[in-house]
Structure 1
């Protein structure tokens, strides 16, 4: 059995593509890509739920480890790309956080929601008046 496993391992390692596919240089970044995918998807959500501290921590993490992805030998470009995507998404989230909480975005959003609610209230009141008056 051990000989069969050694033979299979030698066959895998003899092909550069399968050798890379079976290495931690591939599976490390592949499993790490969940963080930037989640961050990119979060850019579509309400900025009120963004954690400023966590966004800052993830920006620092990605910037630091993007550097180290290129410092190892051989350089891990897939991991570097993962951290660059994550840094970009977190920087976007950081901008959205600052805009919402510090630069008037929250007030603009609340004003827009209030106007929308007022418009709906006017529509309901017009419909009610028509029903009371017997109009169609």
Structure 2
């Protein structure tokens, strides 16, 4: 039974014998790099970069659910990209637009 599941995985149209497997697998590097940037101060984050990561994640997550065959590796990496991008954008927005108000209130 395990052999048949392994054979099914290896011979899947989006399996490891195709670019449809390896492209999303290497794309995980972007999400991992974005996770590593969680330790970076928000003022060093880039709006254009994080908007691009978020938009790419959202658009390609949707695409991966409407293509045939379903590519769950592509779906999962893009959900991770969208999630990390949204988190980084929220950090940047909080630092740029909401921390000043908190500082002003604290000074009063």
Same fold by TM-score greater than 0.5: yes
How far apart are residue 43 of structure 1 and its match? 1.0
How far apart are residue 25 of structure 1 and its match? 2.6
| Structure 2 partner of 1:70 | 65
| Structure 2 partner of 1:46 | 41
Q: Does 1:85 align with 2:80?
A: yes
State which structure, 1 or 2, has the greater radius of gyration over its C-alpha atoms.
1
| Structure 1 partner of 2:23 | 28
Task: Provide the TM-score with structure 2 as the length reference.
Answer: 0.78
Q: Which structure carries more relative contact order (alpha carbon 8 Å, separation 6+)?
A: 2
How far apart are residue 17 of structure 1 and its match? 2.8
Rounded Cα–Cα distance in structure 2 between residues aligned with 1:71 and 1:97: 32
Give the match's secondary structure for 1:103.
Answer: helix
Gaps of 5+ in 1: 1-14, 109-136
Gaps of 5+ in 2: 1-6, 104-108
Rounded Cα–Cα distance in structure 2 between residues aligned with 1:30 and 1:57: 19
Instruction: Tell me how large the CA RMSD over aligned residues is.
Output: 1.9
Rounded Cα–Cα distance in structure 1 between residues aligned with 2:95 and 2:48: 15
Rounded Cα–Cα distance in structure 2 between residues aligned with 1:21 and 1:51: 34
| Structure 1 partner of 2:89 | 94
Total equivalences in the alignment: 94
